[in-house]
Structure 1
Amino acid sequence: MSFFQLASQRMTWLGARQTVISENVANADTPNYKAKTTSGFDAMVSGSEAMQGLRTTDAQHIGSGGGTPRGVQVQEDETAWEGSIDGNTVALEQQTIAAAEVAGNYRLAAELYRKGHNLLTIAVTGVR
């Protein structure tokens, strides 16, 4: 059953990552906004402490309504491609690539979850 727990955690982490990406896009024109990223999935699985939501450094920043899942840390993205004259480090191209990556990984996790459920059903009932 740990397979289902792992798949569920992966989907939770991908959801948190997509939230951070969408907040980056929402703040793409906000002066002095620094792009954010999440800790890796391995950090979530190992149970490291999570920050309580995203920290906004300026009143104009658009933040999340709630906290991040336990084990997911949100920090400034040190790998941001560029910085603009107004101090904003969000590159929409980079965020688009990350969002597509998250969508593909989410579809994969959902499909693995579905296949696991099908295998469990076959094992229990013997019927396909």
Structure 2
Amino acid sequence: MEPVYFMKLASKHQDWLAAREATIAQNVANANTPGYRAKDVESFSALFDKAHIQMRSTQAGHMTASAAVKQGQVVEKKDSWDVTYSGNSVSLEQEMMKANEVARSHALTTNLMKSMHSMMLLSTKVQ
């Protein structure tokens, strides 16, 4: 039986969420520090894309990853931070929205891990 990589991926996602949460907390803590620039971490999907995971083909006629068309829209990165007269670019509203997004992602990933664990337990249950 091959190892299940879903749990490792979910664990890495939780680690990334923890790093993002720490960055958000640092931004909030420095909201009144003159000259402080708000920070954020690179998106998890960008980090995942850099991993260069190769799919295994079991049949010669299967499509390769390079033949697949990437779907999705291109989002232009804009500097949305309003810089105050003190040079601080932290927006508490944006940081709270990010914190809420991280909390929802934590809950979703945790629930997915619980479901996967339950499925593994059911598959090994002796009748």
TM-score normalized by the length of structure 1: 0.71
Alignment root-mean-square deviation, CA: 1.9
1:121 aligns with 2:124: no
Greater RCO, CA 8 A, separation 6+? 2
Change (3 A) 1:126 1:94: farther
* Residues 9-54 of structure 1: CA deviation (Å, up to 9, x unaligned): 1111111000000000000000000000000102333349xxxxxx
Indicate the residue corresponding to 1:12 in structure 2: 15
The amino acid across from 1:12 in the alignment is D
Cα offset for 1:78?
A: 5.8
What percentage of aligned pairs have identical amino acids? 35
Contact 1:83/1:89, CA 8 A, preserved across alignment: yes
Change (3 A) 1:96 1:84: same
Indicate the residue corresponding to 2:43 in structure 1: 40
Indicate the residue corresponding to 1:105 in structure 2: 105
Larger radius of gyration: 2
1:95 aligns with 2:98: no
Distance, in Å, in 1 between the alignment partners of 2:28 and 2:99 is 10
The amino acid across from 2:14 in the alignment is M
User: Match of 1:33, SS?
Assistant: coil
Question: More strand by proportion, 1 or 2?
Answer: 1
Point out where structure 2 has 5 or more consecutive residues left out of the alignment.
Answer: 53-76
Number of residue equivalences: 99
